[in-house]
A and B are shown apart, each in its own frame.
Chain A
């Protein structure tokens, strides 16, 4: 049983972030760092976040973010730093503004259209069923 448990633990360890050891001032800062780097896109391998990527640029940017955190910068300052250089594309959670409005609204609109379609389909089916039943009873 212990062996099984150990194997599971080891395999879990391999999913940890692709990162070099970093020293933080406190655990809160480390948690903030992990959260922030998982929400930022690696520009080299664009479907990976900064935390997971092994690309040299991702390593550089992690170092940069770590340094900025130790220097007392907040998340907004760090995000502004990256957006100024790489654009909104670095954000996995883009800000809501003119050119990202469609991105935010389309899922809701689609859901609405789907809901309306379901409503009308169900209603017409109900009517048919009622009509059939009435025919049957006549």
Chain B
């Protein structure tokens, strides 16, 4: 009896395993950030377009903000640009850019052409601050709370669904972000 059922059981087990694998494979390239729940890394970066102005992580404390990692060479940044623009215009949260591994002139041209949604952009031309944030593929967005703790990371394009389901709930009074 068991002998006859065994192939069926093995088949089912394998089927479940593979289905599970396929489900995981959908999100395989998204790597959970070890930064969640931790203080954002320290940095001091010049502002894009006002290179004499330096901004540090300490300067950003006090209000939650979304740090959007973007670059002029990044096609998906262009794709998510309207969503970031809408989010910034809504005033729900400060939107700050991290211009990642870019040329200052290209970056400014990109903002001129498509519009500048950012309160300001930090110029991380070498990508060194990007390494500290664990950036590996622009666009990425970090939601940082008023105390400077990273509470959420979006890898890839920002979408209205992510804003609705992940960003806004974390900004509500009483949530830990405030």
Contacts and interface: CB of A to CB of B under 8 A. Distances in A.
A87 B134 contact: yes
B34 A60 contact: no
Contacts, number: 37
B131 A87 contact: no
Given A64-B131, A86-B34, A87-B33, A44 B137 contact: yes
Nearest to B6: A117
B34 A85 contact: yes
Give the contact-size bracket for chain A. Answer: 10 to 19
A83 B34 contact: yes
B127 interface: yes
B29 interface: yes
Given A43-B31, A46-B29, A60-B127, A85 B101 contact: no
A7 interface: no
Contacts of A56: 101, 127
Given A43-B31, A46-B29, A56-B101, A86 B134 contact: yes
Contacts of A84: 34
Contacts of A83: 34
A64 B130 CA distance: 13
B62 interface: no
Contacts of A61: 131
A43 B136 contact: yes
A33 B66 CA distance: 36
A85 B29 contact: no
A3 B148 CA distance: 64
Interface string A77-97: 000000111110100000000
A18 interface: no
A57 B135 CA distance: 9
A83 to B, nearest CB: 7
Given A85-B34, A89-B31, A44 B101 contact: no
B153 to A, nearest CB: 11
Nearest to B35: A85
A61 B126 CA distance: 12
9 contacts: A43-B136, A46-B28, A57-B131, A60-B128, A60-B131, A83-B34, A85-B34, A85-B131, A86-B34
Kindly list the 7 A-B residue pairs having the minimum CB-CB distance in the complex, ordered from nearest: A43-B136, A85-B134, A87-B34, A89-B31, A86-B134, A60-B127, A57-B136
Given A46-B29, A56-B127, A60-B128, 10 more contacts: A43-B31, A43-B137, A44-B137, A60-B127, A64-B131, A84-B34, A85-B131, A85-B134, A86-B136, A87-B134
